[in-house]
Amino acid sequence: MKLSWLLGPRPAAPRRDVPPAFEHLRELQALADQHGDRACGTAGYEAAARYVEGHLSGCGYRSKRQYFTVKDRGRTIETFNILAETTSGHPDHVVMLGAHLDGVPGSPAINDNGSGVAALLEVAGAISRHAGLGSTVRFAWWGAEEFSKSHGSRRYVKDLRKNDPEELRRLRAYLNFDMIASPNPVIGVYDARDAGPIHAVPAGSTEIMDVFTGYFDSRGQPWIPTDWDYDSDQIAFVKAGVAAGGLYTGDSDRKTAKEARLFGGTARQPCDPHYHRPGDDLGNVHPEVLGLMTDAITHAVVRLAS
């Protein structure tokens, strides 16, 4: 896929030309306007799930829901993950991608994490048209990430460990995408070379990082390593020993002067000043960065699954 949205040392402002993934964000914003948010267990979450399932069906996928319950502040909430995979590719070699579908209450949740949801939908469409992949490619839209623990991905891995450990061993890579269109972005790659992470780096993770960084380097695109232990859905896979990687453009952390020189935007301001707030809407994301990240994900999946 041709890369059309390179970052340079200029203000990180949205442009009029937008990548295809941005159209999914329009739909998610419309659902948020209708239902208020996409929080776990709400009508907005169900509506977003149906949108994801409808797009997957149009691309030739058969999706399924994995239901589970979450206990929070005295409430028991029923929710679910959405799973889909290619029908071709060797079943003993699975490359998996994930993004959480839920948002925090009271927020449209467009960057966190409509951006990851949208990118995966576009990648799923691209992969469905790609012949000759040697591996199965599996997609997950996780439920209940916006809690103290990432319940959806934890439940998925826990069930495999308990009921199908052989299937867990077939997972050769897990790639996570959470907040990849921040309005004042950095281009972050999960740092599999971190010498002292809380969680050990599974074998194969460095190779995943190299695929992403090699792609950015070939396009002259600056990047930085981001914390390996960034708290999102990759952690359950890392704990299970699955090679992992991912991309990230920043949350409420303030952009440094060095990062501003690399990526443009505003130093000493948050990468996403609307993180977990009502302002996390369609007007406060960076379409060019969303396109860049979607292209990078597509490249990485094709490389890892070939």
- Which listed residue (53, 145, 259, 288) is catalytic? 145
What does the alpha-carbon distance between residue 188 and residue 176 come to, in Å, rounded to a whole number?
12
Single-letter amino acid, residue 191: D
For 11-49, the three-class secondary structure string (H helix, E strand, C coil) is CCCCCCCCCCHHHHHHHHHHHHHHHCCCCCCCHHHHHHH
| Pairwise CA distance, residues 121 & 101, whole Å | 12
Does residue 145 have an active-site annotation?
yes
| Alpha carbon distance 181, 26 (integer Å) | 14
Instruction: Calculate the CA 228 to chain-centre distance.
Output: 15
Q: Are 151 and 145 in contact (CB under 8 A)?
A: yes
CB count, 10 Å around CB of 197? 14
Residue corresponding to tokens 């890392």: 238
Residues near 247 by beta carbon (within 8 Å), at least 6 away in sequence: 177, 180, 187, 188, 189, 190, 212, 293, 296, 297
Active site residues: 145
